[in-house]
Amino acid sequence: MKSQMIDSTPGDVLSARAAYNERLARLADKTRAVWFPLAILVILLVLPLLQFVGNYNYMLHLVLLTASYVAMAAGWNILGGFAGYISLGHNVFFAIGGYFAGMILARFGISAIIMAPVAGLVAAAFGYAIGLITLRVRGPAFIISSIAMVMIARLLFDNWHFVGGANGVTLPAPNLSSQWAKLPYYYAMVAIAAVTVWSSYRIKHSKFGLGLRAISKDEIKAESAGIDTRFYKVTAFAISAFFIGMTGAVWGEYLTYIRPSIFLVILIAANMVLMCILGGKGTVAGPVIGAVLLVAFNEFFVAMMGASELNILGTGVIMAVMLMFFPLGIVGTLALKGKLPRILNWD
C-alpha cells in the first residue's frame, strides 16, 4: 500500500483525479432533469389560453402569487442559501421595488412591468449600500440587524408623506376587461420567476457561487483562500435585492396600490425564509418547491378556514418542525438519502 503510493508519479494521480471528476460530472448531468422545469414553464405559458373557454382568474392569481414567491425565495436564497447570511428583512427590497415603480406609475403613467428592471436596480443599489453596513457582522447579529432594518423602513414609509404615509398610494388599474386584466402581470411574474431561478442556477455553478458557498462553510478560511469575501457578500446581497425589487414592482401595480402594511409586514420576510428552509436552502429547486407548498398551504388556511391568525400559527409550526427535524429542507434531505427524484434535481 505504502510502496504503491510512493511509486505512482504525480502525473498519474492527477490524471486519475481528472477522470474521476469527469465521471462525477457525467453522473450529475445524467441525473439532472433540465426538461422538467422547462416543461413546467411551457405549461404556465399556455395556461392562460383557458380564459377562452371559461373564467380561471383565481387559478391565474394563484400561479401569479406562487411565481412572485418563487422569485422572492430564489432571490433570498442567493444571499441566505448560498452565502449563508440569513436575512429576516428582505421585504424591505420588495417595498423599495414596489414603491419606486408604483410612484413612477402614479406620476408618469409608465407601467411597472416596463420599469421592473429599473426598480430592481434601485433595490439592488439600496441592497449594496445596506449590505456594506450590515454585512460587517454575521450570525445572530446579522439576523437582528435585518429585523432592525425592517422596523426602520416601516417607520420611514409610514411617515413619508410623499408616498402617502401609512395609507399609501392608489395606482391606476389597467384598462382591460376582467377576463384579460391579469395577463400582463401573470406573464411578467412568471418571466421574473423563471429568470430568477435560471440566474440562481447560473450563479451556483459560477466561480462567484463557489466563493459564496465557501463563505457559508467557513468565512475565515474562504478569506485566507484569497476570496474577496466582502465584495462577494455585498454583491450577493445586491443581486438578491435586485430580484426581490423587480417582484415588488410588478406586485404593486397588480394590487393597484402600494402601502407599508402590504410590503413591510414580517410575514412576507418570514415566507421567503421559510420557503427556502422548506424546500432546501442553497439548492436551486428548493425555493420553488417551498413556494408552491407554502402558497398552497396559505390558500388552504385563509380560503378554507378564513383566519389569517391561524395562518401565522401554521407558518410558525411548519418552520419549527422543519428547523428541528429537517434542517436541510425537502431537497436537501432527499438528496442526502440519495432518494431525490430526478425531476427535482436542478442543481
Which range of residues in 5-13, 141-149, 250-258, 288-296 is near another protein by CB under 8 A? 141-149
Q: Which is nearer to another protein, 247 or 315 (CB)?
A: 315
State the nearest-atom distance from the C-beta of 154 to another protein, in Å.
9
Asked if 147 is part of the footprint of another protein (rule: CB under 8 A), the reply reads yes
State the nearest-atom distance from the C-beta of 139 to another protein, in Å.
6
Output the nine-digit C-alpha cell for 53. 373557454
Asked if 328 is part of the footprint of another protein (rule: CB under 8 A), the reply reads no
Alpha helices by DSSP H, the chain: 2-7, 10-31, 35-46, 57-77, 91-108, 112-134, 140-158, 183-204, 207-217, 219-224, 229-255, 260-263, 266-279, 286-299, 308-325, 329-336
Q: Which is nearer to another protein, 85 or 201 (CB)?
A: 85
Asked if 302 is part of the footprint of another protein (rule: CB under 8 A), the reply reads no
Of 11, 98, 40, the closest CA to residue 346 belongs to: 40
Asked if 299 is part of the footprint of another protein (rule: CB under 8 A), the reply reads no
Asked if 117 is part of the footprint of another protein (rule: CB under 8 A), the reply reads no
Which range of residues in 43-51, 52-60, 146-154, 185-193 is near another protein by CB under 8 A? 146-154
First to last CA, the chain: 37
Asked if 16 is part of the footprint of another protein (rule: CB under 8 A), the reply reads no
243-272 positions binding another protein, by CB under 8 A: 266, 270
Q: Which is nearer to another protein, 24 or 133 (CB)?
A: 133
Which range of residues in 54-62, 64-72, 153-161, 240-248 is near another protein by CB under 8 A? 153-161
Q: Which is nearer to another protein, 277 or 331 (CB)?
A: 277
Which range of residues in 5-13, 63-71, 230-238, 306-314 is near another protein by CB under 8 A? 306-314
β-strand partners of 169: 258
Q: Which residue has the cell 449594496?
A: 128
Asked if 86 is part of the footprint of another protein (rule: CB under 8 A), the reply reads yes
Phi and psi based region of residue 55 (left: phi greater than 0; alpha: psi -120 to 50; beta: remaining): beta
Residue from 66, 77, 229, 315 that binds another protein (CB under 8 A)? 315
Q: Which residue has the cell 471528476?
A: 21
Distance of alpha carbon 332 from alpha carbon 279, whole angstroms: 8
Q: Which is nearer to another protein, 96 or 104 (CB)?
A: 96
Residue from 311, 331, 340, 344 that binds another protein (CB under 8 A)? 311
CA distances from 189 to 27, 51, 243 (A): 34, 18, 11
Asked if 172 is part of the footprint of another protein (rule: CB under 8 A), the reply reads no
Is residue 287 within 8 A of residue 276, CB to CB? The reply is yes
**Which residues, in sequence order, are CB contacts of 328 under 8 Å at separation 6+?**
280, 281, 335, 336
Q: Which is nearer to another protein, 86 or 169 (CB)?
A: 86
Q: What is the DSSP string of 176-216?
A: S-TTTTTHHHHHHHHHHHHHHHHHHHHHHTSHHHHHHHHHH
State the nearest-atom distance from the C-beta of 318 to another protein, in Å.
8
Of 251, 269, 299, the closest CA to residue 113 belongs to: 251
Amino acid at 64: L
Asked if 277 is part of the footprint of another protein (rule: CB under 8 A), the reply reads yes
Asked if 17 is part of the footprint of another protein (rule: CB under 8 A), the reply reads no
Of 343, 340, 316, 346, the closest CA to residue 328 belongs to: 340
Residue from 50, 155, 173, 176 that binds another protein (CB under 8 A)? 155
Q: Which is nearer to another protein, 171 or 241 (CB)?
A: 241
Q: Which residues bind another protein (CB under 8 A)?
A: 86, 88, 133-134, 136-141, 143-145, 147-149, 151-152, 155, 158-159, 266, 270, 273, 277, 307-317, 319-320, 323-324, 327
